[in-house]
Amino acid sequence: MTGRERVLAVIKREQPDRVPTFEWAINADVIKAITGDMSFDDFVEIANLDAVMCKPIYLKKPIENNMLVDEWGVTRMICQDDYAMAMDKFSPIRDWADLEKWEPPDPYALHRFELMKQQIERFKGNKAIFVQIRDVFSNPRDLMGYEKMLINCIQNPDLVNALLEKCVDHSIKLVQISAELGAEIVITGDDIADNKSTLISPKMFETLFIPHFRRLIQAIHDCGLYIWKHTDGNIMNVMDMLIDAGIDGIDPIDPLAKMDLSTVKRHWGNRVAIKGNVDCVKLLTDGIEDDVIEAVKECIRVAGPGGGYVCSSSNTIHSGVKPELYQSMLKSINEYGKYPLDMDKLAPSKKAKKVR
């Protein structure tokens, strides 16, 4: 099977020829340490990953002190792994007057999809083509500022709702353009939880955010695309809500947030595709090869039967990940993930530690 065929089988909760693997993001320095000086797209090919991540391009204007302003009007500071963190004190939307004069970036700007077009031309038919967009939480958070957005959810929900309307309208246009270009799966990357629970109450999430989330999902499905939802943290209290909204996949099953892979497989594996769960915070940064192998075996052992599962890190391959451990993870997935699964081969070694 091709990578595309494997991923599409997983989304349909079917069994491919082997457990597929892909990542939301892979740090460029990790790729360089493994390959010498390859691009992400080159690495997708040489590492035999099953999907390629594409995304719309938003220009950023450098200002001062390692800060920049993006096309959304959000001031950001460059942090670890080149992550551009929104600076709350410069948030562009503080009240109704700000919202009324603010418009999201032009989704049809010429530069928006140039890189995606190249990736689709290269990988179409061989790798699953994902497009990364935001859904309902991250844009309001960055535009209003984290604290102010959470306060507004209680004190001024109509303002949050109106901002959500504009942001989701923009995301829907991105989806429509991506579908026309040849994307197949939308993966949305809004983190809505910490290690204990969701950042807002399930009731508020359902009342304020889920209607827009459903609207986006309906638009994605109307375009003939699938949706894979990404969020860190413990989302046990909203799993049913997310799945009922229509998602086709969930990523990652965060082990440090006490998200147990076997529990998720048992309760929701017949309704949604599952991706994860090799710990990228401790195991892939400070672990040893034998423990990485055991972690891969356990993930496949508990989530692989019957299909519907992608084995990957518990978030991303970030700059702290040891390249050799990531390579061990990939090698182990290929070795132990072939269907029909060999449960004897997947059994834990006598010295194995429990890996969640």
Q: Which tens digits make up the pLDDT trace of 85-119? A: 999 999 999 999 999 999 999 999 999 999 999 99
User: Does residue 240 form part of some domain?
Assistant: yes
**In a domain? residue 267:** yes
* Per-residue pLDDT at 355: 47
Whether the pLDDT of residue 240 is over 50: the answer is yes
Structure confidence at residue 82 (pLDDT): 78
Residue-level pLDDT at 66: 85
Residue 78 domain-assigned?
no
- For residue 354, pLDDT beyond 60: no
| Residue 94 included in any domain | no
Judged against a pLDDT cut of 90, whether residue 349 lies above it is answered with no
* Overall domain count for the chain: 1
pLDDT at 356: 45
User: Does the residue 291 lie in any domain?
Assistant: yes
Split at pLDDT 50, 70, 90, the class of 352 is low
CATH of the domain at 27: 3.20.20.210
Question: Which domain, by its residues, includes 295?
Answer: 3-58+104-346
Tell me the pLDDT band of 123, cut-offs 50, 70 and 90.
Answer: very high
Whether 286 shows a pLDDT value over 90: the answer reads yes
Share of the chain above pLDDT 70, in %: 98
Lowest mean pLDDT among 3-7, 42-46, 208-212, 257-261: 257-261
What is the pLDDT, as a whole number, of residue 350?
Answer: 67
308 inside domain? yes
pLDDT at 159 over 60: yes
Q: Is residue 99 part of a domain?
A: no
Instruction: Output the 3-class SS for the chain.
Output: CCHHHHHHHHHCCCCCCECCCCCCCECHHHHHHHHCCCCHHHHHHHCCCCEEEECCCCCEEECCCCEEEECCCCEEEECHHHCEEECHHHCCCCCHHHHHHCCCCCCCCCCCCHHHHHHHHHHCCCCEEEEEECCCCHHHHHHHCHHHHHHHHHHCHHHHHHHHHHHHHHHHHHHHHHHHHCCCEEEEECCCECCCCECCCHHHHHHHHHHHHHHHHHHHHHCCCEEEEECCCCCHHHHHHHHHCCCCEEECCCHHHCCCHHHHHHHHCCCCEEEEEECCCCHHHHCCHHHHHHHHHHHHHHHCCCCCEEEEECCCECCCCCHHHHHHHHHHHHHHCECCCCHHHHCCCCCCCCCC
Amino acid 254: pLDDT:
87
Q: What mean pLDDT do residues 21-32 have?
A: 96
Average of per-residue pLDDT across 278-295: 96
Tell me the pLDDT of the chain averaged across its residues.
95
In a domain, 125, yes or no: yes
Band of residue 353 on the pLDDT scale cut at 50, 70, 90: low
